Amino acid sequence: MSELRTLGEFIVEKQHDFPHASGELSSLLASIRLAAKIVNREINKAGLVDITGATGVDNIQGEEQQKLDAYANDKFKAALEARDQVCGVASEEEDEAVAFNKELNKNAKYVVLMDPLDGSTNIDVNVSVGTIFSIYRRVSEVGTPPTEEDFLQPGNKQVAAGYVIYGSSTMLVYTTGNGVNGFTYDPSLGTFCLSHENMTIPQDGRIYSINEGNYVRFPTGVKKYIKFCQENVPEDNRPYTSRYIGSLVADFHRNLLKGGIYLYPRTESHPKGKLRLLYECNPMAFLIEQAGGIATDGNQRIMDIKPTELHQRVPLFIGSTNMVKTVHRFLEQYPDEE
């Protein structure tokens, strides 16, 4: 058995894959790795310490903020600010983008956008949750404070993206535009080790992931696709199956490994969609495309959407190529009047 490579060793080996970098990726991802370890430690204490439940405060989206949301947000911000590669962050938990004003951050080239703890309401019931992150090269002048334009870049400008899933094991999965690689945390060593090299998603799958409790509010094309999955039996006699965890990272991770599609369409209550373009959809779209899949909003490629606001929401159809193409055919065949 060959010796396992750590995340740090792997990044150094692949340093040439990161545009414009001369050691920055290693340092930047080391910040994310450190924060992930700290958050992982607290998640594993859930139920033993007062870290579960709500804070009593709503975030910018009007959603009740969980204690671990705030904790994870603070830890990732602190870890990123402690390095000199990041000049600012935008977070699902912050009203506005946060500029780092320390002397060492002034000449930083990168900004980070993140969902510090996706699916945090699942903590109370011991279900997998995750962290999603996205890295961009700033467009404003180095040496000046970051501007909103640094954060409102389309997903096709990402230089790296990834997620950490805190589940039966803790994994960090990332891409720099040269494939997708996954690292599993070994708590006995305190190290992330390469466990899933060059991850690819099957072109076809049997899993569809959607909150069917909202069925009556879905567009007609989505309803027709769900019926197709329920009634159609492929030639290999393996029927489709519905799997929905309610944590984007967990659903995405399963479908990436096994093949499938995740759908979060617009609904009557969320006519523009519910998931956040910058913190959830763009980084997952970058990952899925690098793994051989597709991500769209039902009309266009997710990563080609030009953001107009930090907390912009969009529909999301993401996963195995043939499954996404099939749902597109239903959406085109059964267009709803706006």
- Whether residue 335 has pLDDT greater than 80: yes
* Listed range (37-46, 210-219, 326-335) with the worst mean pLDDT: 37-46
What is the token pair recorded at 33? 């790795």
Q: Which residues are annotated as a binding site for substrate?
A: 211, 244, 262-264, 274
| Confidence at residue 337, expressed as pLDDT on a 0 to 100 scale | 56
Query: Can you say which residues are annotated as belonging to the binding site?
Result: 92, 115, 117-118, 211, 244, 262-264, 274, 280
User: Is 241 in contact with 258 (CB distance < 8 Å)?
Assistant: no
Per CATH, the number for 207-333 is 3.40.190.80
The 8-class DSSP code of residue 318 comes to E
Query: Which residues are annotated binding-site positions for Mg(2+)?
Result: 92, 115, 117-118, 280
Q: Determine what percent of the chain is predicted with pLDDT higher than 70.
A: 89
In this prediction, residues 57-84 reach a mean pLDDT of 81
Instruction: Locate CATH 3.40.190.80 in the chain.
Output: 207-333
Residues of the chain with CATH 3.30.540.10: 7-196
Give the CATH H-level superfamily of domain 7-196. Answer: Fructose-1,6-Bisphosphatase, subunit A, domain 1 (3.30.540.10)
What pTM did the predictor assign? 0.93
* Confidence at residue 48, expressed as pLDDT on a 0 to 100 scale: 43
What pLDDT sits at residue 298? 96
Buried b (16+ CB within 10 A) or exposed e, 80-107: bbebbbbbbbbbbbbeebbebeeeebee
> Over 60: is that where the pLDDT of 266 sits?
yes
- Res. 326: pLDDT tops 70: yes
Q: What is the mean pLDDT of residues 99-127?
A: 86
> How buried is 198 (Cβ within 10 angstroms: 0-12 exposed, 13-18 middle, 19+ buried)?
exposed
φ, ψ at 313 (rounded to 5°): -110, 150
Q: According to the model, what pLDDT value does residue 238 have?
A: 76
Tens of pLDDT along 8-52? 889 888 777 665 555 777 888 889 999 999 999 888 875 544 455
Confidence of residue 265 (pLDDT cuts 50, 70, 90): very high
Angle formed by the axes of helices 24-43 and 67-81, to 10°? 150
pLDDT tens track for 125-156: 778 899 999 999 999 999 999 999 999 999 99
2: enclosing H helix or E strand: none
Distance in angstroms (rounded) separating the CA atoms of residues 171 and 185: 6
* Identity of the amino acid at 284: M
Indicate left, alpha or beta for 260 from its phi (over 0: left) and psi (-120 to 50: alpha).
left
176-202 pLDDT per residue, tens:
999 999 999 999 999 999 999 999 999
Mean pLDDT of 260-275: 94
In 3D space, the residue among 154, 261, 123, 289 whose CA is nearest the CA of residue 204 turns out to be 261
Task: Grade residue 1 by pLDDT with cuts at 50, 70 and 90.
Answer: very low
